[in-house]
Structure formats: structure tokens, C-alpha cells
A and B are shown apart, each in its own frame.
Chain A
Amino acid sequence: MNAPIVVENLTKYYGNFLALDKLNLVVPEKENIGLLGPNGAGKSTTLKILCGLIRPSSGKAFVDGINVVEKPEQALSRIGAIIETPEFYTYLTPVETLSYLGRLRGMKGQELKKRIDEVISLVKLEKWAKVKIEKFSRGMKQRLGLAQSLLHDPPILILDEPALGLDPRGVVEFREIIEHVGQKKTVFFASHQLVEVTQICKKVAIINEGKLLAYDDIAVLEQKHGSLEQAYLQLTGGPSE
């Protein structure tokens, strides 16, 4: 239970649809773990439960040993998250948005101002810092999403398709940022981009139909299946041609 993220027999039904089927997973401290799986595999559902956005039908999810369902506010104070394509209040600017979210997390004054400048600079939104978000593209919102997830310097990052909507340069910059911050943090992120995952993570969890199919070092999976892509294809839908 001391690991930053622990998932125990996590089960989630949407009506009659079983999205997660007794999923068990432990993410060790300061490791970057990729969560892979086809559409509808249960990746986003897992991350949403960890972020307190939805409740599991049964099973438990812990963040830093805190039960997410029982004490969501305490658990969320340890997390920085991007879930789906982030949407913000369009009437605010990035600086105001970060100020709002920072203040909700107890940050204030010069400390908050300094940190806002840092994260805005990190995601290269300096020129847009005081422009209302209504004018932002999807990629710019994604950058702001990353900025808000890093604002309070959380020990754990939970990212759901963090590079979605970014142009190729943005994808590279994003990867570099996550690689950099991932050296000091626990990063648990879902992605369809296998290249992105191999560049950031040493270990991946592959799930399908809500079940954990593999959870191992990428090197081990490559050895077993020839490549990560083959491992993914074979585990999630039988061997590819």
C-alpha cells in the first residue's frame, strides 16, 4: 500500500457494460508507467477513478496510500492530472486559470505568481499568457493542461493521452517535459502512441476489456514478442500478419 498508485480488484460497470474487470496494478515510486490498450480497454476509466471523477463499482484505488473514494480531496492533493482533452473556462486567461487552480490548492502570493511564470514558460505559452482561452487551439489547451498539472509540483502525474491534438513539434516538446519531470515524479499515463511510450517509460501495463494482460518492462516484452508493437497486437487481438 506504500506505492504511489495501487489498484485492487478494480471493477467498473457502465450499465451492463463491464469496463474494468477486477484490475490489479501497483505503480512504484518515481517510475514512469505507460498504460496501453485499444479503445474501450478501460484505460481512461482507470485514470478517472484514480482522479475521483467516477466511482468504481467495486474494488479499491489508492493514491499515496489514501483511498480515492473515501478521501478524494486528500488523494487529489498528491496528483497532477490531464484527463481527455482539457477544457477551461474560456473567459479566463492562462494566468487567471492557473491562479484560480493554484489558489484552490492553497498556493498564494509571490510563490504562486513565480510558479505560474515557470509552468507557463515550461509549456511555451508565454505569448498567450494573458489572452482569453476562448481563442485557444486544442494544442494550446493541451499545453495549458500540462501546465496546470505541474503547477503545484505534485509527486504523482496522471496523464490521459497527454499529447493528443499537438503538432509534431508539440509532441516532441511534450515528451521532453514529461521525461524531464518524470525523473523526480511517478508518472502513470495512458497513450495509443507506442513510440511515445517507449521514449518515456521503462515499463508498461497492457489492458483490454478491463483486464490486465501484461505488466512488465518494455525490454522484457520486446524480448518475448519481438517488439512492443507485436506485444501489443498479440496481447490485445491475436498475432498480427
Chain B
Amino acid sequence: MSEFEKLRVVIQYEFMKHIRRARLYVILAISLLAEVLVLVLIPALHDWEYPTSVMVMAALLTVGGSLASLGAVFFAGDAIAGEFESKTGFILFTNPVNKLTLWTGKYLAGFFAVALLVVFTYIVMAVSLLVIYGEVPVEIFESFGLCIMYAAAVLSLTFFFSSLSKGSMGATVMTLLFVWVLSGILESVLSFTGNPYWFIISAGGDSIATVYGGIDMFLEGLGLGDASRFGNMMENFKPLSSGMAAWGMTIYLVGGFVASMFISQRRQLS
């Protein structure tokens, strides 16, 4: 039996895990709720009108970034650490399967589960825009592509922390702190001081919504004036291109995955 056939088996059963666990449906419900809130609250708080620009509404409805990171972290936090923590590895690792095949299968199953969530939210978003504006901006495909890439990058990063961590919870918390707190702070400091910030993972996450336009467009679209309201904070800010965002995310996607494989191959189940 080839390793490729074994990989297919691992993906199948790992994907089954994601489908059967409540967390998939909880994240799905949260993202749906977020989109419903945008659809309800914007007109309710904005003179019963949606923004005139479809691009502004598309950006506001884009929950994919948060959803992708949340899904990736919760689906992959226990991927490696869990086998050691819950000792299921005593059964799994005594089978004639290369561990690289096992980890790759787990990664791909997690990726497919997150992609499923992302596809669902983009469908909801596209249908909503079509109903409200009668059109769907073509930038939605660019946003979708970046979102999928961001999901893969966060998944790799979670695998990295999962390979280092003793427990699943540790991996989950470390990834969330890294992606949502540390990276967010670094991105803000670097971008507002005019320094390169394309290599920060949260910048990749932000690029998912900024394909529709910059901060000026959002503020104007919501009738909030322009970016001068932030004083000199925006003077040095340069929006990130999708290409640069993709390069930045590739670092985490490849680096995180390779590092997690390297570390987990050396880990022993004693």
C-alpha cells in the first residue's frame, strides 16, 4: 500500500473528526451570526440604508479572516499535541504509517474543514450582495483566494505550536496570542511608522478585506469623513498589495508546516 493511499485514509478519518465535532458548527454559527449582524445593524444604525458602494458592504461582510484563523486554530490545535496528550498515539503510531503521512493527512483534513467554512461564508456574502445591490464585485475572488491562503498559513502556524506544545490547549492559546495579539500590535506599529509589514501574518488577514478598498473608502462609504480623523497616524501608512500579502503568508504556510514536521518527527511518545 502506497503512502499516498494511506494519506487518503488519514484525511478521510480526520475530516470525519471535524465533521462530527461541535466546534465546526459553533464556528459556523458564529460566522453566520456576524454576517447577519452586519446585514441587520448597518441599516438599523445608518438611517435604514446600506452603504451606496457595494465594495464597502463587501468589506464589511468579510468575516472570512477571523473565521479562517478561528477555524484553523480550533481544528489544528490538537492535531499533533493531542496524540501525545491523550495518548491516542500509542495506537496510531504502532501502525506501519510514516508519521509525515499522518501529519500531512491531519493538515489537509483541517484545511478542507476550514475551507468548507470559508466557502460557506463567501456564498452567504455573495448572495447577500446580489440581493441588496444586484451585483457581486469581482474582487470577491481575490478576497476568497487570500482568505484560503490565510487559513492555510494559520493552520501551519497552529501545527507548529502543536508540535511544540505538551497539550492542545497550550497550542491553541499560543497560536491565538501570536496571530491576534502579538502580530496585530506589530503590524500596527510597523505600518503606521512607514516600515515594511507584509511579513506579519495579521497583515495577510487584513488584506482579505482591503482588496475592496483602503481605509478612506470605508470611512467615506459609512459617512465618517476621511482618514485625516486619525491625525498623523496615517501619514506613513501604505496599503499592502495582495501579492505582498500572499508572499508574507507563504512564509508562515511553508515555514510553519516544515518546522512542525521537523519537530514532531523527533518527538517521542514515552
Contact = CB atoms under 8 A, between A and B. Distances in A.
Interface in B137-188: none
Chain B at the A interface: mostly helix, strand, loop or mixed? loop
B16 A53 contact: no
Task: Indicate the member of B6, B10, B90, B269 with the most A CB atoms within 10 Å.
Answer: B90
A53 B93 contact: yes
Interface string B62-86: 0000000000000000000000001
B91 A87 contact: yes
A87 B90 contact: yes
Interface string A125-163: 000000000000000000001001000000000000000
Contact of A105 (B17, B96, B98): B96
A103 B91 contact: no
B90 A77 contact: no
B96 A87 contact: no
A148 B91 contact: yes
Interface in B82-127: 86-91, 93-98
21 contacts: A48-B269, A51-B93, A51-B94, A52-B94, A53-B90, A53-B93, A72-B96, A73-B97, A74-B96, A76-B96, A85-B87, A86-B90, A86-B91, A87-B87, A87-B90, A88-B91, A89-B13, A89-B17, A89-B88, A104-B97, A145-B91
B240 to A, nearest CB: 40
Contacts of B1: 105-106
Contact of A104 (B6, B16, B21, B270): B6
B83 to A, nearest CB: 10
B94 A53 contact: yes
Closest 9 CB pairs of A and B: A106-B1, A77-B96, A73-B96, A76-B96, A54-B268, A81-B94, A83-B90, A87-B87, A53-B269
Interface residues of B, number: 24
A101 B91 contact: yes
A102 to B, nearest CB: 10
A76 B94 contact: yes
A92 B98 CA distance: 22
Chain A interface size, under 10 / 10 to 19 / 20 to 34 / 35 or more: 20 to 34
Interface of B: 1, 6, 9-10, 13, 16-17, 20-21, 86-91, 93-98, 268-270
A74 to B, nearest CB: 7
A201 interface: no
Nearest to B99: A72
Interface in A56-94: 72-74, 76-77, 79, 81, 83-89, 91-92
A35 B161 CA distance: 38
Contact of B90 (A55, A72, A84): A84
Interface in A86-123: 86-89, 91-92, 96, 100-101, 103-106
Contacts of A48: 269-270
Given A55-B268, A91-B16, A100-B9, A83 B94 contact: yes
B91 A91 contact: no
Contacts of A81: 94
A236 B201 CA distance: 57
A89 B21 CA distance: 12
Contacts of A79: 94
Contacts of B87: 84-85, 87
